[in-house]
Amino acid sequence: MDSHQAARYPFLKGSVSYAEENSADIESLVRLPSYEKARKRGLERVLSAISQHLVSDVPLLQEYDRLMEVLSYPYARMIVSCVNDRFLTKRYALAEASRMNDLLSNDRGSETMVAEELEVGSAIDPEGLVSMHFSDYLRFSHMMKAVEWKLINTDLRGGFVHLDPDKFDRLLQNALQERIESELPLNVPDQFRKAMRNDIDHVIVVLSDTKMKLSPTGGKGVNMDYLPPCIKAILASAQNGVNLPHSARFALVTYLNALGLTYEEIIGLFAQSPDFDESKSSYQIKHITGEERGREGYTPPECATMRTNGICFDPDGLCAKINHPLSYYKIKSGNTQKKEENA
């Protein structure tokens, strides 16, 4: 693999071989002054993923620049692994995958190689479109919400979907994002963590600041006055011992969890109900917030889903301007920045 391609697509196996052929190993990368440029660039990859959702371009004029660029990728992955935060891992994976998508749009010649590496079965049809089996298409498009990605709206012939290259690149982006998320965290030895301490701490500080800004409460405590009418009504019913349907309980717990309430705080609100059953509520809340599964919690439903489930109670004037109950809180509290992040 040529050095330019290795630097542009550092996740490829050929890029790893390129780095090894140039006598670069992880020990040297982490410790030696001669690899400082790669470490700086690795840190920059992670920081720009957090703050801008992207990995920016750097000049790759010299062979040395390209080697540093290739090495910055494993260093960035090691930082992300050491921080080991699901939000960070997802942001980082998305930024690396978006970067690949951008690069491929001006580098069609590399698409086949990238697709093979990511195990996305595909071929070029006589019309110059990319064809892929519908099962592969579904595997990498299922997370796309826009109607144009529905199988029924594709050019489907004999079990194969025919796509223009831009759309195919978007599916490759999903494949790479999924791949990176599944590979992280890496097992980083303690002696490397020690050497990387400053960069890890830097990322932890920026990450915590970003999370605080994105939080619907802006990092402040939850103010019950800012809750939307639906959540206020459901909460009042729960506290009065009304037996809530699953959809209402789910909406309430996911909402409170998204505002940053802990399991203990949520169960404390339910405990005000006269027929509170801790063992039953405990399991449900832990499952919904992700605590029981050791994972991220579920996302609260949008207004449209709330309406479909018959739990959009007493919408007011502000409700007419929003699509998600979390936006209500953000607007009421004046913390409207990046509201789409959590809505």
Minimum gap (Å) between residue 38 Cβ and ligand SF4: 48
Nearest approach in angstroms of CB 255 to ligand SF4 is 9
Applying CB under 6 A, among 165, 218, 290, 315 the residue interacting with ligand SF4 is 315
Query: What token pair was written down for 39?
Result: 């470490």
In angstroms, the Cα distances linking 5 to 8, 39, 100, 141, 189 are 5, 20, 11, 26, 29
CA of residue 160 relative to chain centroid, distance: 29
Q: Is 325 an interacting residue with respect to ligand SF4 (CB under 6 A)? A: yes
Among 16, 54, 103, 319, binds ligand SF4 (CB under 6 A): 319
Q: How far is the CB of 226 from ligand SF4 (least distance, A)?
A: 11
Q: Are 172 and 120 in contact (CB under 8 A)?
A: yes
- 331 near ligand SF4 (CB under 6 A): no
**Residue 263 engages ligand SF4 in binding (rule: CB under 6 A):** no
Would you say the C-alpha torsion 217, 88, 36, 106 has a positive or negative sign?
negative
Number of H helices, E strands in the chain: 17, 4
**Residue 191 CB-density burial (10 A; 0-12 exposed, 13-18 middle, 19+ buried):** exposed
Three-state SS for 123?
strand
Q: What is the largest CA-CA distance in the chain?
A: 72
Contact between 326 and ligand SF4 by CB under 6 A: the answer reads no
Min CB(321)–ligand SF4 separation in Å: 9
How many chain residues interact with ligand SF4 (CB under 6 A)? 11
Least spacing, CB of residue 304 vs ligand SF4, in Å: 8
- 18 or 328: CB nearest ligand SF4: 328
Our CB check for ligand SF4 shows the closer of 252 and 306 to be 306
Q: Is 120 among the residues that bind ligand SF4 (CB under 6 A)? A: no
What is the rounded distance in angstroms from the CA atom of residue 15 to the CA atom of residue 6?
A: 4
CB-based contact 124:160 (threshold 8 Å) = no
Nearest to 51 by CA among 342, 339, 338, 343: 338
Determine which residue in the list 306, 329, 335, 343 makes contact with ligand SF4, applying CB under 6 A. 306
Nearest distance in Å: CB 268, ligand SF4: 23
Does 312 bind ligand SF4 (CB under 6 A)? Our answer is yes
CB of 248 to ligand SF4, least distance (A): 11
Q: Is 317 helix (H, G, I), strand (E, B) or coil?
A: coil
Which one of the spans 45-53, 211-219, 267-275, 309-317 is the region binding ligand SF4 (CB under 6 A)? 309-317
Closest to ligand SF4 by CB, 13 vs 321, is 321
Contact call for residues 75 and 38 (beta carbons, < 8 A): yes
Q: Distance of CA 230 to CAs 23, 93, 266, Å?
A: 61, 35, 17
User: Does position 118 bind ligand SF4 by CB under 6 A?
Assistant: no
- Residues 266, 260: Cα–Cα separation, whole Å: 10
> Among residue numbers 207 through 246, which ones bind ligand SF4 (CB under 6 A)?
228-230
Out of 328, 329, 335, 343, which residue is the one contacting ligand SF4 (CB under 6 A)?
328
Q: Which of 55, 207, 303, 343 binds ligand SF4 (CB under 6 A)?
A: 303
Fill in the amino acid letter for 181: E
The residue ranges that bind ligand SF4 (CB under 6 A) are 228-230, 303, 306, 312-313, 315, 319, 325, 328
